[in-house]
Amino acid sequence: CETLCHREDGLPPVGCLAYILTLGVADSFRRRGLARELLKRSIIHVDRHMPHVQAVHLHVVTYNHAAIRLYEAMKFLQVGNFVSFYHLHGKPYDSFLYALYLHGGRPPWKWRLKNLLSIGLASTWKDWVLSAWCSLWRNEPQVHKPMAEELA
């Protein structure tokens, strides 16, 4: 990852992400917290050893409600929906794209605007304008609590 995210100008990389391709637990070992532990350890590893990574992304098939509950409980945000993303057992299935933002990373402004409009403008308009403005100018350092501390 460090090689792929390397910048020629010597500045720290911006916009790098980690992608969890597959996360699965064998049927006989489910409901024991193994998926949560695997996900937690992966996030801690990225948080501690890959400071240039600003988001962890993963896809989940829309009917996998247990996985969706897990990802949302671990603070992943649903940031996309893809039609016919998977082809399982000869049939197309849709997916959700989830993201967990680290190291000052934030969802794209378009996603934040869509979510702001869906919950109403009254109390959050000022916060959203400030957030959108700050996301345009990313040169200023952002203070964040390491995800490893939150998950420990």
Which positions are annotated as active-site residues? 19, 59
Provide the 8-state DSSP code for 51: T
Residue partners of 58: CB distance under 8 A and separation at least 6: 19, 20, 21, 23, 71, 76, 97, 98
Tokens 């998950």, residue?
151
What is the rounded CA–CA span in Å between residue 127 and residue 59? 29
Q: What phi and psi, each to the nearest 5 degrees, are found at residue 91? A: -125, 145
